[in-house]
Structure 1
């Protein structure tokens, strides 16, 4: 690189803004050798077939280099465009529930081995492994397991695998050029309500506009709002694993809501 600017760290990775010899401005994430960089690059390329993402310039064992995205304030028009774009991305679909690359969310590995249906995939590849890693008290782990046993019953009408981002919180939305550019995916074939539930978990600018435009493009199944806590179980478990007890209460509230469905 011709020049670099340090942007700090995230999950142990060093973040930089750089200028290549040819003048292109890039974003670089570097760290110890890990399959996480190749996984993120694969997800970006896959999502980028149907929605705006940064260009993958280099994906090495110890780095990921992407085109730089100039950000702007969120707007209602961009939110509505994103709602439609997100619906089209989900509709593009996937070959199965899972993905042909190893999964990661932040630095945590996830099993992307395909499963025949979404409740099985969500239970066996997402919720149960992270519930064990979270080292929940035995009583709380038993409640999670009771909720998992209800997944097939409460998941709504079966849907084909959607092409999902997998970690769609507001920090992974870059507002640029009148649209949203997606970054830091945990992409896989999953349930489209998972992305929407993640948006709702920590809030997003103009969320009502996003959801309204999404519904116009691809109406959601009956009862989707009641199923939001179901789809938030995994991201809440991820936060318990990464950040500890601060998220324990929110997790158990979501478990209780799933048990009440």
Structure 2
């Protein structure tokens, strides 16, 4: 990394946060996602993890991610990188967290992961949503509060994305009508449950085996929602080990009929992928709509 302005701002922020003079000795580019650059910062006080993106395109993305990580961290339910600081310098937005080395999984890794997620989901509040909007991937995620999960899911999740997909000619009028029809039926589909604190984007690419051999989660899209959303998301893009699902069911049993709701819960992340990537995700959305309308 050769951006001296950015490196200076990072040193200032890290020093202020830690109460010690932090000097960045080396920055190593590491594998990251599609939106952000990711780096390992070697300093006189150990290693830190850095995410960078374009501050003009995503001016508040890392501030929102910082808030989400803080909300998850305060539950002490599961391991995650601790957010350290965020800010902007020289046209770049940045987020710094603690750096976690990868470890080898303990024998009960999946059972422990499930128990940790169940503990997270037992954190609740009076309404569905979050105190601010945030992001899922590079898309804005709306968290306007509602006391009803079906209303929240329809107005903050399914309909905004379906309309965007229609406007961009990714979904046709028939598919949009099917989403509207499904939204009208949601109150009869979902049993009442208290709002659960969700990771919000829990797929196999957003967890790792931490240094203690247990699950560490990151890159959240936090809100209080129906906990079947997190569980359904884990079944996309490769899925988790079956031991995870059995253990979760023992820790915090899902309401009767959860199997029939998996596809409906997966509609939201699949619509996200339609807008970001198009392609086969459109077919996946249409298949779920055909099965549920």
TM over 0.5: yes
Q: Give a deviation string over 1:2-26, Cα, whole Å, max 9, x none.
A: 211112553332211111332x212
Q: Does 1:148 align with 2:208?
A: no
Measure the CA separation in 1 of the matches of 2:184 and 2:131: 27
Q: CA deviation at 1:139?
A: 1.5
Task: For 1:256 and 1:139, locate their aligned partners in 2 and report how far apart those are by CA, in whole Å.
Answer: 10
CA distance, structure 2, for counterparts of residue 32 and residue 105 of structure 1: 16
After superposition, what is the alpha-carbon deviation per residue over 1:119-174, rounded to whole angstroms, capped at 9, x for unaligned?
1111100110011111211111111111111111111x200100001100110011
Structure 2 match to 1:18:
41
Pair 1:58–1:217, CA change in 2 (3 A) = same
Asked if 2 retains the 8 angstrom alpha-carbon contact of 1:97 and 1:188, the reply is yes
SS of the aligned residue for 2:122 comes to helix
Q: Structure 2 CA distance, aligned partners of 1:196 and 1:64?
A: 27
Distance in 2 (CA, whole Å) between partners of 1:89 and 1:148 is: 27
Q: Give 2:157's aligned residue.
A: 126
Residue 31 of structure 2 is aligned to residue 31 of structure 1: no
Match of 2:230 among 195, 198, 201: 195
Q: Which runs of 5+ in 1 are unaligned?
A: none
Q: Is contact 2:35–2:137 with CA below 8 Å preserved after alignment?
A: no
Q: Partners of 1:118 and 1:69 in 2: how far apart?
A: 35
- 1:90-111 Cα offsets, whole Å, 9 max, x none, are 0012342110122200111111
For the pair 1:251 / 2:282, whether they are aligned, the reply is no
**SS state of the match for residue 150, structure 1?**
helix
Q: How many residues align?
A: 256
TM-score (norm 1): 0.93
Partner Cα distance (2:130, 2:253) in 1: 25
If the length of structure 2 is used for normalisation, what is the TM-score? Answer: 0.83
Does the aligned pair in 1 maintain the 2:175–2:289 contact within 8 Å?
Answer: no
Aligned residue number for residue 65 of structure 2:
40
Q: Residues 94 and 173 (structure 1 numbering): CA distance in 2 closer, same or farther, change over 3 Å?
A: farther
1:101 aligns with 2:117: no
Name the CA shift for 1:96/1:59 in 2 (closer, same or farther; >3 Å): farther
Match of 2:5 in 1: none
Greater Rg, structure 1 or structure 2? 2
Cα pair distance change 1:74/1:130, threshold 3 Å: farther
The SS at the match of 1:225 is: helix
For residues 212-236 of structure 1, the C-alpha deviation after alignment (integer angstroms, 9 at most, x for no partner) is 1111111110001111011001000
The one of 115, 118, 126 equivalent to 2:146 is: 115
Q: Aligned partners of 1:209 and 1:122: how far apart in 2?
A: 29
| 1:174-228 deviation line (CA, Å, top 9, x unaligned) | 111221111000000000000000001223342x111111111111100011110
Q: Are the counterparts in 2 of residues 227 and 258 from structure 1 also a CA contact under 8 Å?
A: no
Quick one: distance in 2 between partners of 1:9 and 1:180? 18
RMSD of aligned C-alpha atoms? 1.5
Give the Cα separation in 2 of the matches to 1:105 and 1:234.
Answer: 10
Instruction: Measure, in 1, the Cα distance between the counterparts of 2:259 and 2:176.
Output: 25
Structure 2 gap segments, 5+ residues each:
1-23
The alpha carbon displacement at 1:73 in A equals 4.8
CA separation of 1:7 and 1:92: change in aligned 2, threshold 3 A = same
